Structure 1
């Protein structure tokens, strides 16, 4: 039986594919290889983590192509990680989010329900909590006040999946990821942005004057959560559940930078800035539901997880840091 992983060349996707294959699953990937960030990093990531994985080059907005791929593969389960990511990018390129995160997700839901997919696990985001969220964020908190279009599309994804679970009995599980980091990570996120800048001696922009806390979650913990969720589809009526996947230990931004400085062996040049539009000052996951459902237990502290990221940046980017 085949597991189809969308966004397979992405950061979380490539690691998930590797983990699924390591436990003996037959995995096929899908990715559109877009240039939101350098496609060379995506190709190098795949070559390093799952070099002989088949990845179909396809955009989710291609409904006919997606239907044909489902008919060819007849997957039993789908892990949907493809999306247009990034809070700040959504301020400037909103249509990319409507195309990928709304139209693309609808096409995927339709393909799943018409072919009797046993379980769809899909990526949501901690960004759904939005204005007025009180840490620790619980899955039953209101999510009707998103602070960015990106967050709004993820709120919409959860509502869309719920409706398909209700109407058609499609088993769906949404995962709200909290600031995932690790080697081969996304270059537009703080762990790589800061690591590369400090290594190169470039200044870093520290928003909200450093008064930020983030629930940084290591990729190994996220992958364990994705596989745990995949193995435990909902038996509720309707069969739809949402879980936080976070570290449950928010870290002050200044402490986060200090760990990078120590690993890089040099101080950061900090440019303090006001809060950016669309950002949240603090994130913190309540992970009790995921722990109860499938034993989710994040284990990686930033003191252990960040130094390998800095070392990877030094090795991979070299004089391009």
Structure 2
């Protein structure tokens, strides 16, 4: 039995669909605060679904019963709330991970796979940034919470005899996403087709990976990890190029058949979209590629495909 926490969310639901297709027995734990059962409509009759909040330890304990593999994707996905609601980011990233680890240590779980984030690197001085980059210095509470979760997972795995695999993800995009820059731009242009407000100065440049490539990478590297025998390992997952916020705005406008004025907010701290926004992010994915995985789409292709998917969805 495989447990997917946050399995009704954006990435989680795509992972659940892939696992079900491969014939695995899947249990999903989700409180539906960010996800939705609609995301699981392709798989819902073939999975076990538990609606529950991972801040409640008993709920988590019940969910891991009889489980061999846990994919831990439950989290608050919004980097931007770092300044407004740090306590929520602690609860929905660190506390729930601690509860999961406490439940796993006395269970039959052999493997824990965790989706972390490129935000743990902060403003990396080495780009593309490899997994062994140091010191890790997150510049947002979100990044700090992800790094805290990684550290707890490493400690528990080494002490309590299960194996843990961490994925540090670039910006993941695709259908079913309900936050992020592409989603925001589409909604802003629907409200006002004449003008598009862009947070920051538009020169923020980051790597984007389509969710289909992401799920493929997670499952491929997990199989590789199982054969390697390591207790704990970390992989970056992203594309090999990057794209500016301005270029994303141009693609969204073009796909919507619009020609809006761009209004840049100017941003904070040298053109960032918000305080804690990493301005330049490109991950070194050579370690992931050494296992035989590579992304099918680059950042530009992933962005264009996502715009089309989101326009079709809504």
Structure 2 residue aligned with 1:138, among 130, 139, 151?
130
Partner of 2:296: 299
Which stretch has the larger CA shift, 233-242 or 248-257?
233-242
Deviation string 1:237-263 (CA, Å, 9 cap, x unpaired) is 861111101012111222222222221
Taking structure 1 as reference, are residues 257 and 93 closer, same or farther at Cα in structure 2, changes over 3 Å only? same
Partner of 1:229: 221
Q: Distance in 1 between matches of 2:91 and 2:309?
A: 33
Partner of 2:277: 279
Partner of 1:195: 186
Contact 1:199 1:266 in 2 (8 A): no
Residues 46-125 of structure 1 mapped to structure 2, 5 A cutoff:
46-47=40-41, 49-52=42-45, 53-71=47-65, 74-125=66-117
Deviation string 1:62-111 (CA, Å, 9 cap, x unpaired) is 1112112222xx01101000011211112111111111211110111122
* TM-score, normalization by structure 2: 0.91
Q: CA RMSD in A?
A: 2.0
Partner of 1:310: 307
What secondary structure sits across from 2:144 in the alignment? helix
Which stretch has the larger CA shift, 124-133 or 213-222?
124-133
Taking structure 1 as reference, are residues 165 and 207 closer, same or farther at Cα in structure 2, changes over 3 Å only? same
Deviation of 1:210 (Å):
0.9
* TM-score, normalization by structure 1: 0.89
2:21 is the counterpart of 1:28: no
Q: Distance in 1 between matches of 2:68 and 2:229?
A: 21
Q: Distance in 2 between matches of 1:197 and 1:78?
A: 37
Deviation string 1:110-145 (CA, Å, 9 cap, x unpaired) is 222211311110010000011343210110012532
Partner of 1:181: 173
Structure 2 residue aligned with 1:155, among 147, 168, 171?
147
Q: Distance in 1 between matches of 2:300 and 2:170?
A: 17
What secondary structure sits across from 2:225 in the alignment? coil
Deviation of 1:232 (Å):
2.9
What secondary structure sits across from 2:280 in the alignment? coil
Which stretch has the larger CA shift, 303-312 or 118-127?
303-312
What secondary structure sits across from 1:286 in the alignment? coil
2:11 is the counterpart of 1:5: no
Partner of 1:243: 235
2:9 is the counterpart of 1:18: no
Deviation string 1:159-201 (CA, Å, 9 cap, x unpaired) is 111111221222001101110001111x220011112323443
Partner of 1:288: 286
Q: Which consecutive residues of structure 2, in runs of 5 or more, have no partner in the other structure?
A: none
What secondary structure sits across from 1:56 in the alignment? strand
What secondary structure sits across from 2:289 in the alignment? helix
Taking structure 1 as reference, are residues 143 and 170 closer, same or farther at Cα in structure 2, changes over 3 Å only? farther
Taking structure 1 as reference, are residues 197 and 219 closer, same or farther at Cα in structure 2, changes over 3 Å only? same
Q: Which consecutive residues of structure 1, in runs of 5 or more, have no partner in the other structure?
A: none
Q: Distance in 2 between matches of 1:300 and 1:122?
A: 23
Contact 1:8 1:30 in 2 (8 A): yes
Structure 1 residue aligned with 2:208, among 216, 232, 239?
216
